[in-house]
């Protein structure tokens, strides 16, 4: 089953990332979570439903969060955004990436996140302040007035 740029093989308990040619034999908890999410793709699964799928000795909230984080990490960017946390409810595995990826620009070479954009703008403002503080502003008005009077 395709999940973003990865292929999930439930019969082998593996998740293969086709972007970087790696394969991961999933531990029991990660496999159980991903299998349940793929069986109910597009639906919000509660924390209780996901905890019930975990092996009994690992059925706690900390282990569930760790399993989801590890799955997202292996899925990579941007495929990891397919696995979304729904506040105080559970998790959902989307069918495809939504168009609002929180990116600025268009095309494959012109994409940057809002965070990167804000960082770029703040750096430009700091550069302008630095240049202004190092170089004294030249007063053009008196020289211009004198030039006009001579004409």
Query: pLDDT higher for 84 or 110?
Result: 84
Question: Minimal CA–CA distance to 97: which of 5, 14, 17?
Answer: 5
Rounded to whole angstroms, how far apart are CA atoms 67 and 29? Answer: 6
Residue 128 clears pLDDT 80, i.e. is over it: yes
Residue 99 clears pLDDT 60, i.e. is over it: no
Question: Minimal CA–CA distance to 30: which of 46, 12, 15?
Answer: 15
Binned at pLDDT 50, 70 and 90, residue 78 comes out as confident
Does the pTM surpass 0.75? The reply is: no
Please compute, for residue 87, the number of CA atoms within 13 A of its CA located in the half-sphere on the CB side: 0
Q: In this predicted model, what pLDDT tens digit does every residue of 8-20 receive, in sequence order?
A: 888 888 888 888 8
Question: What is each CA distance from 31 to 84, 95, 133, in whole angstroms?
Answer: 17, 18, 58
């Amino acid at each position: 089953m395709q999940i973003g740029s990865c292929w999930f093989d439930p019969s082998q308990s593996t998740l293969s990332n086709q972007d970087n040619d790696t394969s991961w034999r999933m531990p029991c908890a990660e496999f159980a979570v991903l299998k349940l999410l793929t069986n109910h793709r597009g639906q919000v699964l509660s924390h209780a439903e996901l905890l019930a799928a975990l092996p009994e000795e690992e059925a706690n909230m900390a282990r569930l969060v760790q399993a989801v984080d590890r799955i997202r990490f292996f899925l990579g960017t941007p495929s990891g955004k397919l696995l979304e946390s729904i506040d105080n409810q559970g998790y959902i595995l989307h069918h495809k990436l939504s168009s609002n990826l929180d990116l600025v620009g268009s095309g494959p070479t012109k994409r940057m996140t809002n965070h990167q954009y804000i960082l770029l703008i703040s750096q430009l403002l700091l550069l302008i302040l630095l240049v202004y503080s190092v170089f004294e502003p030249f007063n053009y008005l008196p020289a211009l007035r004198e030039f006009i009077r001579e004409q």
